[in-house]
Amino acid sequence: MVIRLGFLASGRGTSIESLVKKIQSCELDGFKAEVILCNKKRGEAEVYERVDKLGIRIEHAEETFKQLEILKNLNIELILGMGILKKLEMKS
């Protein structure tokens, strides 16, 4: 079984880069890095350049509903907050 990961980022992306490299090199088995969501636009956060080199999908999404929509559409099973300090809430 492979767990589909989504990441939340807002800055340089060094932690994401390190973790994704471990996943891609099979050092961490059972995970697949699917998407990184950044609450800042391209040019405002270094994470875009790092992630582009890794070949992982990255999207700009500031609003919680947009972030949740993307994660749901990609069937993300685990969300890792890597530098973003915003609580996500799903309302019923």
- Whether 87 maps to a domain, the answer reads no
Residue 10 lies in a domain: yes
DSSP state of 45: B
Establish if 88 belongs to a structural domain.
no
Domain with residue 10: its CATH number is 3.40.50.170
Q: Let me know if residue 92 belongs to a domain.
A: no
pLDDT of 62 over the 60 cut? yes
pLDDT for res 90: 60
What pLDDT is recorded for position 10?
Answer: 84
Does residue 28 sit within a domain? Answer: yes
90 within a domain of the structure (yes/no): no
- Please say if the pLDDT value at position 91 is more than 80: no
Domain holding 37, by residue range, is 3-82
**pLDDT at residue 3 tops 80:** yes
Alpha helix (H) ranges present in the chain? 14-24, 47-54, 64-73
In a domain, 16, yes or no: yes
Say how far apart CA 28 and CA 59 lie, in whole Å.
24
Q: Is the dihedral of CA 83, 86, 87, 90 positive or negative?
A: negative
Total domains present in the chain: 1
Q: What percent of the chain has pLDDT over 70?
A: 89
Question: Minimal CA–CA distance to 71: which of 36, 46, 47?
Answer: 36
